A and B are shown apart, each in its own frame.
Chain A
Amino acid sequence: MVTFHFVPYQEIEDLNSTKRISKLMGIVRQDKIVVLEGQLHKEEETALIESTMSDINEEFRGIELAVIYPEKQKMDAMKRLKFDIARFLVGNRQGFTIVGPASIVKRVRQNPSSIELFTQEARKRKKR
């Protein structure tokens, strides 16, 4: 069984970067796949990778990360402006961020409009 844990953006919007990452990692370390409404800042994504690397040991092998969001290149100038203003005012609520433990999510295949998660076989997971 695979558990998805939904995190609405409002649950992280008032947190600083360290607390955001710690919250997401806390859920991932419970062997759940986080589905976060919206996106982290790009610097937070690298901080998430740094945090993951610090945590890696023989049991925890890391994470799989995927972000799906509206493509700005496909928007006309007016829509892009509205998109940027909305993001500035209410945060990166557009799209979804998926963070899963590598022990459960074997591979992520993504293109701009879809994400496919390939999970590890349950038997293999139990072995770990």
Chain B
Amino acid sequence: MGGFISRFIQRYFRNIFRNRSHVRLGLYGPPNAGKSTLANKICKDWLNQEMSTVSPIPHETREIQIKEEVSIKNEDGKTLSFSLVDTPGIATKIDYEDFIKKGLKEAVAKKRAKEATKGVIESIKWLDSMDAVVVVLDATQDPYSQVNITIVGNLQARNIPVLIVANKVDLRRAKLNKVKAAFPQYEVVGVSAKLGTNVNEFYNTLFKLVG
């Protein structure tokens, strides 16, 4: 009971003191869902520059990446400015042997695994600093994985607005409806961050979320 009250008080005061004039928008999700690809797409569209490196090997982003002052415009000419925070993918297991199977040398794989564990911890610590979060999921993967549910549940518990992006809808295996069925209480937008498919709907929904 004490824990519940202290959590309620923390959330109440956090919401009072949250600085709304400077929105911090986080990209969260499991590894290789396409967070960095989406971050790059946003930055290319509005700043004409890239933000993060991407790779087919999981845990390419192992440190928090921040792009300050990203401004996007909607069809009505309204502007939304935010700091974009690309976070390392959240996972419950990291096995350096999986990186070796992807072609990395053992020493490099071990280093990557160690950095990736720190990255996951960083991502979780930053949850409290976000004003809104885009949860990026791979639409070809099972949406009911506990990591996805834990991320979304934590954001809900912290009263942080959430938009779910089902990425990689260009792939035949993508199942957008399954992602929508898994999170019926949230807005789910299907995109291909790599090809730019449906990103305008994503921007419009983002305006509704934090605009």
Contacts and interface: CB of A to CB of B under 8 A. Distances in A.
Contacts of B4: 88
B93 interface: yes
Given A43-B7, A45-B153, A50-B121, 12 more contacts: A42-B153, A42-B154, A49-B92, A50-B120, A53-B94, A53-B118, A62-B92, A65-B150, A67-B146, A73-B185, A88-B4, A102-B92
A65 B124 contact: no
A45 to B, nearest CB: 5
Contacts of A45: 146, 150, 153-154
Nearest to A112: B144
Interface residues of B, number: 31
Given A50-B124, A53-B118, A67-B149, A43 B95 contact: no
B89 to A, nearest CB: 12
B77 interface: no
Interface of B is mostly: helix
B146 to A, nearest CB: 5
6 contacts: A17-B3, A53-B117, A53-B120, A73-B185, A102-B93, A110-B145
A66 to B, nearest CB: 5
Given A41-B3, A49-B120, A73-B185, A56 B142 contact: no
Interface in B3-31: 3-4, 7
B108 interface: no
B156 A53 contact: no
B67 interface: no
Nearest to B150: A45
A61 B95 contact: yes
Contact of B144 (A17, A65, A110): A110
B144 A52 contact: no
Interface of A is mostly: mixed
A1 to B, nearest CB: 21
A53 B88 CA distance: 13
B96 interface: yes
A88 to B, nearest CB: 8
Interface in B113-139: 113, 117-118, 120-121, 124, 127
Contacts of B144: 109-112
Given A43-B7, A43-B154, A46-B154, A58 B96 contact: yes
A62 B95 contact: yes
Contact of A108 (B91, B127, B146): B146
Interface in B54-95: 90-95
